[in-house]
Amino acid sequence: MAVDFAALQATVRERFAEQVLDWTEFRRQACLHLRRERVVDVMRFLRDDASTRFAMLSDVTAIDLLKHPEADKWPERFAVVYQLYSLEHNARLQVKAYVPEVPCETPSVTELWSAANWGEREVYDMYGIRFTGHPDLRRILMPDTYEGYPLRKDYPLKGRGERDNFPKYTEIPEEGRGGRA
Amino acid sequence: MSTVPTPNIQRIAPNASKAVAQNLAMNLGPSHPACHGTLRFKIEVRGEEIVECDPEIGFLHTGMEKLGEYRSYNQYVAVTDRMNYLSSLNNNIGYMIACEELMGIEVPPRAQCLRVIMAELSRLADHVVSVGLQGMDLGAFSAMLWTFVEREKLYDIFEAVTGARMTTSWTRVGGLFRDVPDNFTEMVSAFLDKFPKIIVDIETMFSSNRIFKDRTVNIGTVTAEQATRYGLTGPLLRACGVPYDVRRARPYSGYEELEFDIPIRYEGDVYARYLVRLEEMRQSVRIIRQALDKLPSGPVNVDDHKVTLPSKDQVYQDMESLIHHFKIVMPGHGITPPVGEIYSCTEAPNGELGFYLVSDGTGLPYRVRVRPPSFYNHQTMPLQVKGRLISDAVSILASMNVIAGELDR
Amino acid sequence: MEQIEDKAPEGAGPGYKHGGAGWMTTRVDALLDWGRRNSLWPMPFGTACCAIEMMATLCSRYDLSRFGSEVIRFSPRQSDLMIVSGRISIKMMPVLIEIYNQMPEPKWTISMGACASSGGVFDTYTLVQGVDQFIPVDVYIPGCPPRPESLVDAVMMIQEKIKRGEKQTKVYDRTTHPLDFQPVALVSGAAQADPELTGTRHTLPPKDVETEAEKKTE
């Protein structure tokens, strides 16, 4: 059984009318664009409804639309992208929740899928998007004292010099070198 | 003659008999013989039993996703090699399938069949090392030596086909870097005739071994519901009883025409994962034999001048070919997909390897996101080791086959 | 009585000091060096793909234990050759320095692969562009990853170095460098003039600096 995406689109638009921004399809992949306020309710519906049953969260990531040519089509700078998969119906759906730069916050879906725990930590680490309701939001890939959010479009590729800032080994002067051990 | 007085414990520590056991905070890694690569666990132990476990990752974070925004689609293939470095070809092929889906092109059947063969050979390379290292972590060093012999034979095949042993960079948008050598079928058939022996050897060594079973049965058990909720994929998920394999769920590159089984077990422990990996190796041999039989002839690159480089003699003689070559290679031009985004996944040896590519219409991607199977698999580590001994943690980690290059990217 | 002539014997390295019972000590030193170079115990600091090639070198086909490197125990206290194989991120660098400090003298270092030698394929915000900026390195192995034969060749070069008596001449000064450091940015602010090129090691010189060649052509 496959998921009837036309019916799903109609249902979602009807139930969460003010949250849905758009529904797009590209290369036969559907994407639901949402506002971020009630994303947990929409996701709960997608996970639990019998016609969809998106029981598995494949991936959580984000995208910074600062330099995208179609950036003015979308209301905010960041979008958190969820890839949902239904084992029962063997169907995939991409969901995007748009997050502004200030305040850079969105609700966490960790209560629905535990896979989101580390996924959202990585999004916070790389983009600086805070997830309200996340049990343990801290950096995961970068060191804890790191400043800056690397995957943002205004962060330089080569960094800001952290990679060159380690203590060096100093040369022993000629006189101080002992004989052979 | 003086005698050294024996220390009087009661005098030194008068409250020793009334002491209450305390939990000890310990550190396992990041440089540790049992940690595959650069993993760190901050664990709290009571005696030998682990009470809390907090995995710390990121020691191999390379910035590959950021680098994807500054390299063209073909250049990035070299970066995908270095993610799951035990099975580089699976990464190349997975990424290229995503690129081609974004571009909307379909590669010729010979390229698809060759990709299937090399992907399955790469899966053999990964599983054989994973099982060998699992044995080594439990103390059986011979397992690693025997399996690395098979891996060396696979390296010979990879080197003959792609030019490199490990970091192959073999696929390009629209097909492959180059066609296989003439003795390819003989080479792979000769390898496949001898390969099943290593599976039998490992089974003889481990499957009924009392020590191995004591250290792996009922260790690290994950239920199917937990596995789905945590996003586990690959042999870990199939060992819990969930029959999800991307080659069946979303067939790509000709898998829909091949006959193979998906091995499933229901216990969800370390022993089940080991058995699933062994059986997957057998199924991979079956797939490769079928693909070799039906290997069609023809070109290995799609006949589209916007994507495939023309041959060098044409470039030197024909003005049009020169312009096509220029347009594909020079910065500022390149292979330009339409504006859009896709998420495409393939079955890597560790699980569902997904690529989320966003294109802004130029020759460089706007965003390359790699969905690493090891990342979501590793998240279940605290779940599996809680209440277990430290030596069980080693056994569990070995069974998960966490590759740090893919985990941290 | 004949005076024993006190000159440096052949094959002695720069560390040789005159004086004392010269001939006897050099024979003992030569014996010790022979022992050291034929039983190099590596400390495999393997992080990424080069680590797999190092494992292949330690396995049956390119057996490294022929050279005495039988013991691979991942314990820095019991090893004398550190093989840095794989890319080193800024999170891993303090770990590398600490492990390197834990190795007893005399010790040698091999920087295996392009990433450890110079940053390799990855010129990004998080990878150290060559561990030799911070740790003394004796032999560099190019390659991505280098073939096992290259690693074997590097071990043989280290053996030649030990035969010549060359030891590392750099120390880690704990008075000026505490061990619990964290990497801190050197360049602040958001986008620089060219956001791709920011990073203190590869910044282009300012455009108004004329090179010697340009001055000559004018």
Summarised one tens digit per residue, pLDDT across range B260-270 is 999 999 998 99
Scanning C93-112 for CB atoms below 8 A from A yields 93-94, 97, 105-106
Between A107-121, B289-303, C66-80, the lowest mean confidence (pLDDT) is in C66-80
Q: Is B331 on the interface with C (CB under 8 A)?
A: no
Q: Structure tokens of C106?
A: 């005399």
- A140: chain B residues, CB-CB within 8 Å: 57-58
Q: Structure tokens of B304?
A: 């589209």
According to CATH, the topology of domain C41-164 is Rossmann fold (3.40.50)
Looking at residue A161, what is its pLDDT? 76
CA–CA distance from B325 to each of B169, B208, B330, B335 (Å)? 20, 59, 8, 11
For residue A173, being part of any structural domain is answered with no
pLDDT tens for each residue of B374-405: 999 999 999 999 888 988 888 999 999 999 99
Looking at residue B372, what is its pLDDT? 93
Between B202-211, B250-259, C188-197, the lowest mean confidence (pLDDT) is in C188-197
The answer to whether the CB atoms of A167 and C97 lie below 8 A apart is: yes
pLDDT tens for each residue of B65-84: 999 999 999 999 999 989 99
Mean pLDDT rounded to a whole number for chain C: 76
**Predicted confidence (pLDDT) at residue C200 exceeds the cutoff of 70:** no
User: What distance in Å separates the CA atoms of residue B291 and residue B295, rounded to the nearest whole number?
Assistant: 6
Q: Which residue has the higher pLDDT, C207 or A146?
A: A146
Mean pLDDT rounded to a whole number for chain B: 89
Looking at residue C180, what is its pLDDT? 61
The answer to whether the CB atoms of A55 and B228 lie below 8 A apart is: yes
For residue A74, being part of any structural domain is answered with yes
- Closest Cα of chain C to B106: distance in Å? 30
**Starting from the edge strand earliest in sequence, which strands make up the sheet with B24-28, in order?**
B24-28, B40-46, B49-56
Report the candidate in B92, B93, B69 with the shortest Cα–Cα distance to residue B79. B92
User: What distance in Å separates the CA atoms of residue C90 and residue B57, rounded to the nearest whole number?
Assistant: 13
Split at pLDDT 50, 70, 90, the class of A158 is confident
| CB neighbour list of residue C91: distance below 8 Å, 6 or more residues apart | A142, A143, B58, B59, B61, C126
Nearest CA in chain C to A156: C195
Looking at residue A156, what is its pLDDT? 85
Domain layout of chain C by residue ranges = 41-164
Looking at residue C214, what is its pLDDT? 44
What is the rounded average pLDDT of the residues C82-109?
89
Which of B38, B88, B406 best probes binding to C when mutated, by most C CB atoms within 10 angstroms? B38
**Predicted confidence (pLDDT) at residue A130 exceeds the cutoff of 70:** yes
The answer to whether the CB atoms of C133 and A150 lie below 8 A apart is: no
**Predicted confidence (pLDDT) at residue B293 exceeds the cutoff of 70:** yes
Q: How far is CA B42 from the centre of its chain?
A: 25
pLDDT tens for each residue of A21-42: 888 888 888 899 998 888 999 9
Looking at residue B111, what is its pLDDT? 93
The answer to whether the CB atoms of B167 and C126 lie below 8 A apart is: no
For residue A89, being part of any structural domain is answered with yes
Picking from C97, C105, C184, the nearest residue to A162 by CB comes out as C184
Q: Is B194 on the interface with A (CB under 8 A)?
A: no
Looking at residue A6, what is its pLDDT? 84
Report the candidate in A33, A51, A54 with the shortest Cα–Cα distance to residue A43. A54
Q: Which domains does chain B have, with CATH numbers?
A: 64-104+106-303+337-408 (1.10.645.10), 304-329 (no CATH)
pLDDT tens for each residue of C144-163: 899 999 999 999 999 999 88
- A139: chain C residues, CB-CB within 8 Å: none
Looking at residue B230, what is its pLDDT? 92
For residue A175, being part of any structural domain is answered with no
Chains in touch with B (3+ beta-carbon pairs under 8 Å) read A, C
User: What distance in Å separates the CA atoms of residue A177 and residue C16, rounded to the nearest whole number?
Assistant: 10
**Predicted confidence (pLDDT) at residue A77 exceeds the cutoff of 70:** yes
Q: How far is CA C43 from the centre of its chain?
A: 12
Which of A3, A27, A93, A139 best probes binding to B when mutated, by most B CB atoms within 10 angstroms? A27
Residue A122, domain CATH: 3.30.460.80
Number of CB atoms found within 10 A of residue C169's CB: 16
Looking at residue C16, what is its pLDDT? 56
Q: B242: which DSSP letter?
A: -
Split at pLDDT 50, 70, 90, the class of C211 is very low
**Predicted confidence (pLDDT) at residue C209 exceeds the cutoff of 70:** no
User: How many residues in total does chain A contain?
Assistant: 181
Q: Which residue has the higher pLDDT, A178 or B112?
A: B112
What is the rounded average pLDDT of the residues B249-271?
91
Domain that holds residue A126: 5-167
- Closest Cα of chain C to B225: distance in Å? 33
**Predicted confidence (pLDDT) at residue C76 exceeds the cutoff of 60:** yes
The answer to whether the CB atoms of C129 and A164 lie below 8 A apart is: yes
Q: Is B59 on the interface with A (CB under 8 A)?
A: no
Looking at residue B60, what is its pLDDT? 92
Which of A169, A172, A175 best probes binding to C when mutated, by most C CB atoms within 10 angstroms? A169
What is the rounded average pLDDT of the residues B331-341?
86
Cβ atoms of residues C87 and B79 within 8 Å: no
**Predicted confidence (pLDDT) at residue C12 exceeds the cutoff of 70:** no
The answer to whether the CB atoms of B376 and A119 lie below 8 A apart is: yes
Q: Is B13 on the interface with C (CB under 8 A)?
A: no
Q: Domain total for chain A?
A: 1
Looking at residue B346, what is its pLDDT? 94
CA–CA distance from A72 to each of A25, B204, B261 (Å)? 19, 63, 48
Nearest CA in chain B to A116: B230
Mean pLDDT rounded to a whole number for chain A: 86
pTM above 0.90, yes or no: no
For residue A177, being part of any structural domain is answered with no
Maximum CA pair distance of chain B? 102
Q: Is B341 in a helix, a strand, or coil?
A: strand
Split at pLDDT 50, 70, 90, the class of B180 is very high
CA–CA distance from B355 to each of A51, B212, B333, B369, B373 (Å)? 27, 37, 23, 6, 11
Which of B40, B60, B70, B136 best probes binding to C when mutated, by most C CB atoms within 10 angstroms? B60
Nearest CA in chain A to B70: A157
The answer to whether the CB atoms of A57 and B341 lie below 8 A apart is: no
Between B26-40, B188-202, B314-328, C164-178, the lowest mean confidence (pLDDT) is in C164-178
Q: Is B231 on the interface with C (CB under 8 A)?
A: no
Q: Is B354 on the interface with A (CB under 8 A)?
A: yes
